[in-house]
Amino acid sequence: MKTIGFIGLGVMGQSMVRNLMRAGFDVQAYTRTKEKAADLLAEGVRWCDSVATVCQNADAVITIVGYPSDVESLYFGDGMILQSAEPGTLVIDMTTSSPTLAERIAEAAIDRSLLPLDAPVTGGDVGAKNGTLSILVGGGEYAFTKARPLFEAMGQSIERMGYAGSGQYSKLANQIAIAGIMMGNAEMLAFAKQAGLNPDQLRHTIRGGAAGSWTLENLVPRMIIEDYAPGFFIKHFLKDMRLALESAAQLNIKLPSLELAHKLYAILEENGYGENGTQALIDYYMHQDV
């Protein structure tokens, strides 16, 4: 593989494209707002003015966009990926999306002799920038093996979790865990501040024990200084939690902790926090009248 079509140049996508280029892949990209691609175009990415064009001569087409509705519109319809990609092309959706949509895409792709994978990622903006993402893959063994060099350019922990939809189910399971961890860390920090403790001193002291986590290392410092710049948008986390709750209902399982996290983040979004990073949850605890 040499040429990669890439759709979606947000916080995650831009860094993932840079890592693909560092690994020696040629990248041609499309995004709805060309201005978002300006820096990457200066670095050697080829601009395509349509979905159909980004699929031309591509050995793989990767998408990482916002919502399942965006994914569906990119894959289905005239001039979209399933119609435009050549037989044998890898089509890899790395958006956190619906498992049932991933299954629909896979079925339609296989009918066209394409190689579909659902491969959502975790690790946030830091992992995307450093090429250390965890990549959770659903799809066939052959497609996964063929795509591994791409995944290795963007991540470190790469696992095939099963057939189509399994990557998405795995990512939703990850988001369920994160929701609880985010609440725990925000509550810890709010409690520490109210008790008059030095929050950074506390963080350093407890990091080596059972409370240690990626969130404690990377997001709690941002909470302490009220840096809410998005590594991962609240609006997108809410989407993930809604997908997880929908899937949980289909699987006939109750997730009360996730339901609470969704409620708290929904309150923040209603009060204008949707474009902030998930660490802005601390503001709910510090100012519970937001």
- Per-residue pLDDT reduced to its tens digit, 113-152: 999 999 999 988 889 999 999 999 999 999 999 999 999 9
The pLDDT value given to residue 112: 97
Which residue of the set 2, 34, 171, 193 is catalytic?
A: 171
Strand partners, 6: 29, 62
For domain 3-164, give the CATH superfamily: NAD(P)-binding Rossmann-like Domain (3.40.50.720)
Q: Is the pLDDT of residue 288 over 80?
A: no
The pLDDT value given to residue 47: 95
DSSP helix/strand/coil, 272? coil
Q: What count of other Cβ atoms lies within 10 Å of the Cβ of residue 284?
A: 20
CA distance 234 to 261: 11
Mean pLDDT of 50-60: 97
DSSP helix/strand/coil, 5? strand
Q: Are 111 and 76 in contact (CB under 8 A)?
A: no
Q: For the whole prediction, is pTM greater than 0.85?
A: yes
Domain segments of the chain: what residues?
3-164, 169-286
The pLDDT value given to residue 1: 80
Could you report the per-residue pLDDT of 176-218, keeping only the tens digit for each? 999 999 999 999 999 999 999 999 999 999 999 999 999 999 9
The pLDDT value given to residue 11: 83
Could you report the per-residue pLDDT of 61-106, keeping only the tens digit for each? 999 998 999 999 999 999 999 999 999 999 999 999 999 999 999 9
Q: Is the pLDDT of residue 290 over 80?
A: no
The pLDDT value given to residue 218: 92
Q: Which residues of 71-97 are buried (b: 16+ CB within 10 A; e: fewer)?
A: bbebbeeeebbbebbeeebbbbbbbbb
The pLDDT value given to residue 289: 56
193 is catalytic: no
Q: Regarding the domain delimited by 169-286, which CATH topology (the fold level of the hierarchy) does it fall under? A: N-(1-d-carboxylethyl)-l-norvaline Dehydrogenase; domain 2 (1.10.1040)
Q: Beta strands 60-63 and 133-139: pairing type?
A: unpaired
Cα-Cα-Cα-Cα dihedral sign, residues 191, 195, 200, 205: negative
How high does pLDDT run on average in the chain? 95
